[in-house]
Amino acid sequence: MTQQELQHLYWRASFGLNPAENKSLPKNKKQLVDALFINSYPISPIKIDLSFMDGVSLKTLKNNPKFAQELRVKSRKKLADLNYAWILQLIESKQLLREKMTLFWANHFVCKDNHVVFAQKYVNTLRVHALGDFRTFVKTISKEAAMLKYLNGKQNRKNQPNENFARELMELFTLGEGQYSEQDIKESARAFTGYNHDFDGNFRFRIKQHDHGIKTFFGKSGNFTGDDIIDIILENKQCASYISDKIYRYFVNPKPNKKHIDAMAEVFYKDYNIENLMRFVFMSDWFYDEINIGAKIKSPIEYLIGMVKTVPVEFEREKDILKIQRILGQTLLDPPNVAGWKGDKGWIDANTIMVRLKLPSVMLNNAMISLKNGETDLKDDLKKAYLKKNKSNLPFRIKANWNRFSENYKLIDIDNLQDYMLQGRTNIGTADYLKTLNKSSKQEYCIQLMSLPEYQMC
């Protein structure tokens, strides 16, 4: 594999690759892809301190409304800890592909919950099933406490069915718009009646709240349960096509290629095994076509994690992680709606592009803009005085580990640095601009490269 193809694989299957990591990798495509999966077989669930819930029961909360309110406030604050733990996992995990797939599924099976115990359980469920059996995955998601709350599954009862989950199951999670009728939604909702959870978030089937009558769904009739409905949906090849299309747009190119997506669907429909589908994608020659390299706008999380993996940093204040996500437009655990983030061009507007171009200097250069002559926007002596006086007022408190960066890139000549940091072709204007930059410092040149529009692509 060429260096460009290797970087393409690692940007899509994870969050980039530095030259130090590159040295230990096999050059054979099959061995590389095998290694990605083998390293991602272990599952490392996120676990934050939830001891504030120890000894709490439903009875406790009912008898003490004030205490219940205090717990709700603590839970919302703890979501920030869960967000931070997830970001660290994306940065530090060795299970690169599992973490990237977890991020993908979080914007597919979209869910939001202020109950931090349920939220943690949910993101770990995504992590467990990220490379497994899609059929089992969907059935598990349908029984998750966070999803039952988010899409009103707990309110879905015999004689008073709630159709929210049944609708989104087909429209967003398995088939796509226009692939079902309103009657299918109604019949499906009846099959999911009685789904509930206990105080700890464990699934409970309330048999007395379940509609045991005959349902007719997609032309089949029977006393169906929710699992039966999911099995019937997956019999429709449209499900394999719909998921393949979403995976293609996320991992290959936002512009769909019907021939390649159809080939993916053939593989996926055989057994709905996610690993087999992803292996097929990464082993296909078309995945490495030039048209697909550098064709995707990095999501804010991809952009942030990629930057931090290039130049390791220490966040002195956890809240800065949240602040950066919010200004970029993607905060983990806080999707905009049940459809999730639109992605691709939806990540960029007049405001966010300016933030993105400025952010490398803000994060890695103490809020000083790197200029093309290799200097910052303040002379060194003035900069030191400014930082000493205004450190507490800087937008972020971040320490960049430039020693690690230098070690990782020590064998790369500064003239070739852009080949490792920019994906795809650079346009003529950018190529000419790169020639004008001062290359006396890899550190400054790195920040300048990260401040280019081309760095937004992967």
Q: Which of 131, 160, 188 is the last residue of a domain?
A: 131
By mean pLDDT, which of 293-307, 371-385, 399-413 is the weakest?
Answer: 371-385
Residue 16 has φ and ψ, to the nearest 5°, of 105, 175
Residues 107-114 have a mean pLDDT of: 98
Q: Strand (E) positions, 198-275?
A: 203-205, 215-217, 220-222
Residues 63-73 have a mean pLDDT of: 94
Within a domain: 70: yes
Q: Is the pLDDT of residue 221 over 70?
A: yes
Q: What's the total number of domains in the chain?
A: 2
Range(s) of the domain holding residue 47: 41-131
By mean pLDDT, which of 13-27, 161-175, 229-243, 407-421 is the weakest?
Answer: 13-27
d(CA 121, CA 82): 11
Q: Is the pLDDT of residue 222 over 60?
A: yes
Q: Is the pLDDT of residue 13 over 60?
A: yes
> Which position has the token pair 């690690």?
404
Q: Is the pLDDT of residue 216 over 90?
A: yes
Q: Is the pLDDT of residue 34 over 60?
A: yes
Residue 87 pLDDT: 98
Q: Which of 81, 96, 131 is the last residue of a domain?
A: 131
d(CA 106, CA 187): 27
d(CA 333, CA 325): 11
Residues 303-309 have a mean pLDDT of: 97
Nearest CA to 80 out of 301, 319, 305 is that of 319
Tens-place pLDDT, residues 122-149: 999 999 999 999 999 999 999 999 999 9
Residue 231 pLDDT: 98
Helices (H), ranges, 93-133:
96-106, 116-129
Calculate the average pLDDT of the chain: 93
- DSSP string spanning 75-92? HHHHHHHHHHHHHHHHHH
The answer to whether residues 106 and 99 touch, using CB atoms and an 8 Å cutoff, is no
Tens-place pLDDT, residues 279-301: 999 999 999 999 999 999 999 99
Tens-place pLDDT, residues 424-435: 888 888 889 898
User: In percent, how much of the chain has pLDDT > 90?
Assistant: 86
By mean pLDDT, which of 204-218, 276-290, 375-389 is the weakest?
Answer: 375-389
Tens-place pLDDT, residues 236-270: 999 999 999 999 999 999 999 999 999 999 999 99
Q: Is the pLDDT of residue 453 over 50?
A: yes
d(CA 221, CA 223): 7
Residue 23 pLDDT: 82
Q: Is the pLDDT of residue 413 over 80?
A: yes
Structure tokens belonging to residue 276: 């087999």
Q: Which of 100, 131, 162 is the last residue of a domain?
A: 131
Residue 93 has φ and ψ, to the nearest 5°, of -65, 145
d(CA 174, CA 158): 24
Structure tokens belonging to residue 141: 């998601």
Within a domain: 122: yes
- Non-local (6+) Cβ contacts of 385 within 8 A are none
Within a domain: 327: yes
The answer to whether residues 442 and 417 touch, using CB atoms and an 8 Å cutoff, is yes
Within a domain: 219: no
Within a domain: 146: no
Model confidence at 369, in pLDDT bands (50, 70, 90)?
Answer: very low
Residue 395 pLDDT: 75
Q: Is the pLDDT of residue 381 over 80?
A: no
Residue 378 pLDDT: 42
d(CA 211, CA 83): 38
- Reduced to 3 states (helix: H, G, I; strand: E, B; else coil), residue 409 is coil
By mean pLDDT, which of 158-162, 301-305, 433-437 is the weakest?
Answer: 433-437
- DSSP string spanning 170-216? IIIIIS-TTSS-HHHHHHHHHHTTTEEE-TTS-EEE-GGGS--S-EE
Within a domain: 177: no
Tens-place pLDDT, residues 318-342: 999 999 999 999 999 999 999 999 9
Q: Is the pLDDT of residue 121 over 90?
A: yes
Q: Is the pLDDT of residue 399 over 80?
A: yes
The answer to whether residues 134 and 274 touch, using CB atoms and an 8 Å cutoff, is yes
Within a domain: 385: yes
Within a domain: 65: yes
Residues 61-77 have a mean pLDDT of: 94
Model confidence at 372, in pLDDT bands (50, 70, 90)?
Answer: very low
Q: Is the pLDDT of residue 48 over 70?
A: yes
Residue 388 pLDDT: 53
Q: Strand (E) positions, 236-333?
A: 313-315
Output 222 or 376, whichever has higher pLDDT: 222
The answer to whether residues 118 and 149 touch, using CB atoms and an 8 Å cutoff, is yes
Residues 349-372 have a mean pLDDT of: 79
- Non-local (6+) Cβ contacts of 387 within 8 A are 366, 394
